[in-house]
Amino acid sequence: MTLTETAYAKINLALHVRRRREDGYHELETLFAFVDAGDELTVAEADADSLTITGEFGDGLSNGPDNLVLQALNFMRGMVRPGMAPIPPLAIRLEKNLPVAAGIGGGSADAAAMIRLLDRHYVRNGDMKELVIASNHLGADIGACIVSMTRIGTGLGWELAMPADDDVRGTPVLLVNPRMPLSTGPVFKAWDRQDRGALPEGPASRIASEGRNDLEAPAITLCPVIAEVLAALQDTNPWLARMSGSGATCFALYDTPAARDAAAAAMPAGWWTMAGRLR
């Protein structure tokens, strides 16, 4: 039996960086949303665990124990309740359709997809909240990626709440990346440490339109082409264009699929694009 699961691309419709914590991290307030496409996981029972990575962005990625997909597998083996059959050895194939170090989930989305797949077919825990809390040691974004629906994230990002109204669900969205990887650490170091205030309240559309991404400016200082991507998206008349996470991927939201598809066609040929809808 072959099992499949999509690792949905994550975007931050807004990302506010707040006070510095005693542990050195900063409190975050963000509005997560997810696109209905991403990386693809395929799993089959085998004689031993293995991970094969394919796809446009698979070159150079580790398939060893440091890969978050295998870490998620080990985590879920620990979630099997007494008396239940253990998770068998698995042959895993990961098709990397999303650019890496791109602010759209990446390894977190892949690990979350693995957790969802294993829970549905082997562990059968079914308690999404428990899985989110128990898995936060794997990465701050993994909880949101497990849910893969519009959520407000606070703390380090894994404390999740629903917006007053998820009125952005189904919105046509275009992701654009200039094929420039950008690591989160240097972007945070380039941030000016100014707390510019809390995430707005209300429906998701209001939070998105009135919010901001505090990492956008420092990311542009490190990767100036991000400004070009944002300008190109703004020229297509979306109702919102912004950088996601710590970059370099940017997104734009449109009223219609036709407007989104016309915008995709207008992007420079060398840039990566992905069109979809918000889940």
Query: Catalytic residue positions?
Result: 10, 141
**Residue 248: Cβ within 10 Å count:** 27
Q: What SS3 string covers 182-232?
A: CCHHHHHHHCCCCCCCCCCCCCHHHHHHHCCECCHHHHHHHCCHHHHHHHH
CA distances from 6 to 18, 34, 172 (A): 32, 11, 18
Token digits of residue 15? 């990302």
- Angle among Cα 30, 270, 174 to the nearest 5 degrees reads 35
CB 34 within 8 A of CB 6: no
Report DSSP state, residue 158.
Answer: T
Interatomic CA distance for residues 255 and 104, integer angstroms: 22
**Residue 127: Cβ within 10 Å count:** 11
